[in-house]
A and B are shown apart, each in its own frame.
Chain A
Amino acid sequence: MKKGQLLECVGFGLLSGLLIGCMALIPKEQFPRWINHTVLDVFLYLFAVILAGRIRAILRACYDSLQNTPPSNGRFLIMLFMPNIAGDALLGDLEERFHIIARDPDLGLRRAHFWYWFQVFLSLRPLVWAGIKRLTGLAALWEAIRKTVG
């Protein structure tokens, strides 16, 4: 998180707390006559919407600044099922394309993350299947059947 964002977050939080505190502490009888329940509710609703929007924007900025690298959990999953130099090359290809998508102004970091996870999940099926065949000797059996049958 950048210093400016942190200050903005703290400042907005303090201001919000102050306003909500004042509204909760001051009895409704002491409000001017034109402030009735409906006006107060509309005001509170708008305030909540603005507050939620600001928090969302700040969180998104923090997330984007932190996540300009490919997801480590995705890397872990690939290395789990392809723990060799080929798996390393596969991760390199994913990372190369991740940065290309992230740098594209039309696509961006969010799309890059989505593409990365999408490719990890798509890649798991053939990798797991290849691993199962290798471990159980099914590959050799399948090849023998193919060569016999033609």
Chain B
Amino acid sequence: MPTSQEKSSRQPVDSLGSFEQWLLTAVMTLGPNRAYGMTIHEEVERLSKRPIVSLGAIYTAIDRLEKKGFVTSKFADATTDRGGRPRRYVEITAAGQRALHYALDQAAAMTAALRPAEA
């Protein structure tokens, strides 16, 4: 049984929801120079196999993750094709990577626990 000190050293302060996990995965796979609203939206749809994901949900999730300190964002590249509006580039932070790995470890532990029961 892990002590509370061990638990707090491994567990991030904020946990991640399923959608936030997909979003962080998409940001990580795209990299800092390619991850902006539209590409993240496409990547989340592709990875999660969800046919319908709204751009609004992507933006509110980015806001949420930015407040938690899991991502940083900057505004740049306002082109005419976008009506002179900027792109919001997103980059994952070290805390975000830790939180994502923690969530993946949890999922892996659950999968391992279920495997003998299925067999």
Contact = CB atoms under 8 A, between A and B. Distances in A.
Contact of A123 (B15, B54, B62, B82): B54
Contact of B82 (A92, A122, A126, A129): A92
Interface stretch (B26-34, B83-91, B109-117): B83-91
Contact of A122 (B13, B56, B86): B56
Contact of B87 (A89, A97, A119, A129): A89
Interface string A12-34: 00000000000000000000000
Contact of B54 (A70, A82, A122, A146): A122
A86 interface: yes
Interface residues of B, number: 25
A90 interface: yes
Contact of B63 (A86, A91, A93): A86
A124 interface: yes
Nearest to A134: B63
Interface string B14-53: 1100000000000000000000111001000000000010
B90 to A, nearest CB: 10
B35 to A, nearest CB: 12
Contacts of A127: 56, 59-60
A96 interface: yes
B56 A90 contact: yes
A95 B82 contact: yes
Nearest to B56: A123
Chain A interface residue bracket vs B: 20 to 34
B88 to A, nearest CB: 4
A56 interface: no
A94 interface: yes
Given A86-B88, A89-B37, A123-B55, A96 B82 contact: yes
B60 A126 contact: yes
A85 B75 contact: yes
Contact of B85 (A91, A99, A124, A125): A91
Contacts of B88: 86, 89-90
Given A93-B38, A126-B59, 15 more contacts: A82-B56, A86-B59, A86-B88, A89-B75, A89-B88, A92-B37, A92-B87, A95-B82, A96-B38, A119-B55, A122-B52, A123-B56, A126-B57, A127-B60, A129-B60
